[in-house]
Structure 1
Amino acid sequence: MSVDEGLLAVDQHAIALTGASEDYDELLNMVGNRRFVLLGEASHGSHEFYRERARITQRLIDELGFNAVAVEADWPDAYRVNRYVLGQSEDTDARSALSDFRRFPSWMWRNEDVVNFLNWLRARNDAHYPQMKAGFYGLDLYSLSASMEAVVRYLDSVDPQAAAAARERYSCFDRVRAEGSEYGHAVARDVMVPCEDEAVAQLVELRRLSAAALARDGLAAEDEYFFAERN
């Protein structure tokens, strides 16, 4: 396709955005009954892309019943936001809920457009029954120290003895707690012994403990266990 042909195709099919509520009607018609919609942006941190992505997401939730926003962010950091938008945290506002986003580039999520969207989502969720609420989740599993801390914090609340055992297992990572990449480099250079056995043992123990917690506390425990297991 030549440049001229490309420009002609854009001219024939592009839809001008005017800021009107019907801007994305055709897009929502294309979505139909699909379960997943993937939204990207040409650059991270651009206000216009974030604003329009939020507008589309709001309509997907309100009009088509989508109930999960999954973003390119670390799982434990985003789950704090999830608790906030579901009304399950001690954070009093969206800015506080985003405060765990400290790893570069923190501005990807700690910005005004995301704050505005989260304020909308919290208000929208507050007006709906639990089964109609929409959550906010991170897709990335890059964190090391934050994930270990989240597992221990969960176990502290359900089984302090298991939490103590988890701390002992995770102490294997003490030399490289800051970054997962540092651990990978150290193991690759034979500077330290891998911690795989300890990590697997902790996951097995976590799964063993889950049955009792689920039987005792039901759905709320299931959500918290799922969060801990993902870490």
Structure 2
Amino acid sequence: MTTRHPTLHNLIREHARVLDDGDRDYDALLEMVGERPFVLLGEASHGTHEFYAMRAAITRRLIVELGFDAVAVEADWPDALRLDRYARGGDVDTLDEAFGDFQRFPTWMWRNGDVRRFIDWLRSHNDARSADARVGFFGLDLYSLYRSAEAVVAYLEGIDPDQAAIARRVYACLDHVREPQDYAYEAAHGLRPSCREGATRLLQELLRNGPAYLAGDGRAARDAQFFAERNAHVVRNAERYYRETFGGRVHTWNLRDAHMLDTLLALRTHLRDEGRKGRIVVWAHNSHLGDARATEMGRNGEWNVGQLVRERVGEDQALLVGFTTYTGHVTAARDWDAPAERRWVRPAHPDSIEYTFHRSGRDRFFLPLRGAVAGALSGPLLERAIGVVYRPETERMSHYFDASVGAQFDAVFHLDETSVVEPFDVTRHWQHHEVAETWPTGL
């Protein structure tokens, strides 16, 4: 069924707040935040400049005006930690060097100009504040199996050499191969024992010994212990995640999002233990931050961070904000681990929420999803999701899912046309600009 409902279009026009590319564009959003401790800011792709820039602008206001304490993003814990150290006043790295640990595909997700400008601003903001009041930048993801194991060992070597030796022996089962997918295949097919039991015991010992490690020390020591604990959690959960990639016993998606939620809540507890408010802004894809119960994902038995936050801390404790686009260009690869390119985003499917927004005649707007608007958008429509790979030739199957947007998010930003995020590492593939066709394809 093609979405051409004049009443719905009129309703969107009536309630949409047109954007004029200024900070005041976000006044209505900040009013919706109120006292909520979590604001989840999505994106319809991992390679769109406007999504990154708008999230940064919103986050600056949440930090300055509402006292948010941290930014938590869809990135690996140890990679983001180096940026956190720079942003909170560390003098080991320059700004560009602080991005050096983002080496895993897709590097452009975080090694790009928009994130660089935000981290530069965050450092300046923090420089004017005391060490105990500085805003951090943290990763939620679990892909860093080996780097997190190395970080745990390095921490223990400085504080408990005997336990560090144990950690090296425990994590040795990971070292036969240094590629997580190879480890996963061998473990799932009985070619090597699982490291999970040893990794769990090591995590438990790290938690048990924490008070002794921290005796008489201050905030820096508490941070270091917390960072090591989270890396140990990553090793345990990443080992299971990669093993289940081939084992098929659970949804690896659910493992990943449950880990991100646990990391988010652990970060809030850590901030509160330090006397902070524990208010956190989250940056991740729409598919992680919109409530999965309102989507095809939920019907398939998958949950996500947005759903879990609402369930664990309460519907009124988190604001879920989606971002959509009708067309434009995006930085994305043609296949996993392929070079980044500037790809043309085909005009949205006629049965999609993006097309519905486009047909409203408002090309750049903020739309709170409550009352009549939420009700009108409670029925399922297609919703587009572009990750780091974009395959327009199979777009309907590869990039669309059913969603009831009125229940999935509390509010959305829609931009009719968007542009590429610019990576640090520009290659000849990215320099080639894919030209829009004269007629939409891949629908």
Give aligned-pair identity as a percent: 54
CA contact (8 A) 1:74 1:138 kept: yes
CA contact (8 A) 2:47 2:108 kept: yes
- Code of the residue aligned with 2:126 in structure 1: it is N
Secondary structure in structure 2 of the residue aligned to 1:22: helix
Normalised TM-score (structure 1): 0.92
Q: Using CA pairs below 8 Å that are at least 6 residues apart, which structure has the higher relative contact order?
A: 2
Residue in 2 aligned with 1:183? Answer: 183
Higher helix share: 1
CA contact (8 A) 2:23 2:57 kept: no
Residue in 2 aligned with 1:141? Answer: 142
Task: Supply the distance in 1 between the matched residues of 2:197 and 2:43 (Cα, whole angstroms).
Answer: 39
Normalised TM-score (structure 2): 0.50
Residue in 2 aligned with 1:101? Answer: 102
Residue in 1 aligned with 2:203? Answer: 203
CA contact (8 A) 1:172 1:198 kept: no
Gaps of 5+ in 1: none
Secondary structure in structure 2 of the residue aligned to 1:137: strand
Question: In the TM superposition, what are the counterparts of 1:8-157 in structure 2 within 5 Å?
Answer: 8-88=10-90, 90-93=92-95, 95-157=96-158
Per-residue deviation, residues 110-139 of structure 1 (Å, max 9, x unmatched): 000000000000100010123322111111
Alpha-carbon offset, residue 89 of structure 1: 5.0
Task: Supply the distance in 2 between the matched residues of 1:184 and 1:7 (Cα, whole angstroms).
Answer: 49
Per-residue deviation, residues 80-111 of structure 1 (Å, max 9, x unmatched): 11111111351121x21111111111100000
- Code of the residue aligned with 1:125 in structure 2: it is N
Higher strand share: 2
Secondary structure in structure 2 of the residue aligned to 1:69: strand
Task: Supply the distance in 1 between the matched residues of 2:90 and 2:73 (Cα, whole angstroms).
Answer: 20
Task: Supply the distance in 1 between the matched residues of 2:179 and 2:209 (Cα, whole angstroms).
Answer: 28
CA contact (8 A) 1:144 1:178 kept: no
CA contact (8 A) 2:203 2:229 kept: yes
Secondary structure in structure 1 of the residue aligned to 2:41: coil
CA RMSD for the aligned pairs?
A: 1.6
Task: Supply the distance in 2 between the matched residues of 1:32 and 1:149 (Cα, whole angstroms).
Answer: 41
Per-residue deviation, residues 137-179 of structure 1 (Å, max 9, x unmatched): 1111221111101101111221233222211221111123332
Task: Supply the distance in 2 between the matched residues of 1:40 and 1:14 (Cα, whole angstroms).
Answer: 18
Secondary structure in structure 1 of the residue aligned to 2:108: helix
How many residue pairs match? The answer is 229
Gaps of 5+ in 2: 232-443
